[in-house]
Amino acid sequence: MESKNLGNNSDNLKKQELLKKEIIDKNLDKDLFFDYCIQKKENGDDLDNWTIEELRETITDFSKAEIQLNKNDKQDKKKKKVIKIDISEDDKLNEIEEQVKYGV
């Protein structure tokens, strides 16, 4: 996110520091955040269009959404792992049943 206006450098510097501290330093996806800002506000890609308070609120909302997505992703991976294990065990069971059935 960048400022298209060089005026009010003090506010923009604070906004940039806030973004660095809350998005970059916390390893949140900056590209997703950029897209999120564009969705939240017309011309959301221009730092000048945000007050520091709006930016803080948007960062908080984004962080919550990002955390929820990560939780959902981890839960999906666990489910996939459980399903894989179940399938593997079923395959082994079928294999054993075939061996017993055919006396192998």
Nearest to 56 by CA among 15, 24, 25: 15
Token pair of 46, please? Answer: 């221009």
The number of distinct structural domains making up the chain is 1
Q: Is residue 3 part of a domain?
A: no
**Mean pLDDT (the chain, rounded):** 79
- Position 88 pLDDT exceeds 70: no
What's residue 92's pLDDT? 61
- Tokens representing residue 66 in the block: 């990002």
- Whether residue 16 lies inside any domain: the answer is yes
**CB burial readout 21-47, b (16+ within 10 A) else e:** ebbeeeebeeeebbebbeeeeeebebb
Q: Quick check: is 63 in a domain?
A: yes
Residue 63 domain boundaries: 9-102
Where would I find the H helices in 1-104?
Answer: 9-19, 30-40, 52-102
- Is pLDDT at 66 greater than 60 in this prediction? yes
Q: 10-19, 58-67, 74-83: lowest mean pLDDT where?
A: 74-83
Which among 44, 73, 68 is positioned nearest to 19, based on CA atoms?
A: 44
**How many Å apart are CA 82 and CA 87, to the nearest integer?**
9
Which amino acid does the sequence have at 42?
E
* pLDDT attached to residue 41: 93
The answer to whether position 94 is within a domain reads yes
Domain-located, residue 47:
yes
Query: Percent of the chain beyond pLDDT 90?
Result: 47
For tokens 């221009």, name the residue: 46
Look at residue 85 and tell me if it is in a domain: yes
